[in-house]
Amino acid sequence: MVKENFRCGYIAVVGRPNVGKSTLINTMIGEKVSITSKKPQTTRNRVLGVVTTQTAQFVFVDTPGFQTKYGNALIRGMNRSVRASIADTDAVVLVIEAGGWKPADEKVLELLPRESSNVILAINKVDMVKQKDSLLPLMAESMQKYPFAAIVPISAEKGRQVTELMAEIEKLMPENPPFFDPDVYTDKTPRFLAAETIREKAFRLLGDELPYGIAVTIDKWTEDDKKAEIIATLIVEREAHKGIVIGAQGEKLREISRLARMDIADMLAKSVYLEVWVRVRKGWNDDARALKTLGYE
């Protein structure tokens, strides 16, 4: 039985790269639906994270960090998906960092509809701020920039004030019956989440330059009640990158696989055998057809 006044809506979480959008969504959902890393441009696809309470069902849309610098086909597609998410959702949470507004944050602000009363500002990473009283001027400054429906300082990582943020979001959501089953928490398949987990480990373990040229495909997936056997390929852009990903005596690749296997085993709640290969595909991130086969649209 659906309660009267039940609310359900789509909420886009937007912001420049690396402000903590995916971390925030994972914290709100209480499950890992979106990979995170210290490096910008971690998220590439729109990912839904669903959480159902007694009174509402939140359908969060994680978006790639909005890029203003340079654009290959992958980045252009990522930016398109940010714009589309803003247009298609009932509410928007704009995330910035407690350090203050940056030019790249202002660019995201420009994407928002002028008159909307459905935008909330989340000021993230407050755990990094020593002077807590610097938050009040930042909140006042933010109100001058846009008529936010609410401004909530949070720490996505530490889970601070996240319940308060969700209460503010709930106020903006329309009355609707739930769109998803209450035990659904994402629209992504275990296959997609496994590929993303491998990409996350590569992102985290490799140097600064390499991750942007990395993609992952799942080539084989067999599963029974107790175990899963997965064969995947890490795709790199250049021949020279192959050796870096593999590392001396295969050390790097082994560590990427080991960490990914543990997370995937957790996710599937069964034992996992994971084999990861490395292959070169030149210029995949600027090639429309390659992007499509890799699941980036």
Ligand X SMILES: Nc1nc2c(ncn2[C@@H]2O[C@H](COP(=O)(O)OP(=O)(O)OP(=O)(O)O)[C@@H](O)[C@H]2O)c(=O)[nH]1
Q: In the complex, which residues of this chain contact ligand X (CB under 6 A)?
A: 15, 17-23, 36-38, 40-43, 64-65, 124-125, 127-128, 155-158
> Taking CB within 5 to 8 Å according to partner kind, which of ligand X, Mg ion, none is near residue 255?
none
CA dihedral 281, 221, 297, 85 (to 10 degrees): -140
- In whole angstroms, the minimum distance from the beta carbon of 77 to ligand X comes to 14
> Nearer to Mg ion by C-beta: 205 or 265?
205
Site map 3..32 versus Mg ion, x via CB under 5 A:
------------------xx----------
43 binds Mg ion (CB under 5 A): yes
- In whole angstroms, the minimum distance from the beta carbon of 28 to ligand X comes to 12
> Taking CB within 5 to 8 Å according to partner kind, which of ligand X, Mg ion, none is near residue 37?
ligand X
Q: How far is CA 125 from the centre of its chain?
A: 16
- In whole angstroms, the minimum distance from the beta carbon of 250 to ligand X comes to 27
145 touches 101 (CB < 8 A): yes
The CA distance from 274 to 201, in Å, is 14
Question: Residue 281: which of 233, 246, 229 has the closest Cα?
Answer: 233
Beta-strand ranges (E) seen in the chain are 7-14, 47-52, 56-62, 91-97, 119-124, 150-153, 215-223, 227-236, 271-280
> Nearer to ligand X by C-beta: 59 or 246?
59
By CB under 5 A, name the binding residues for Mg ion: 21-22, 42-43
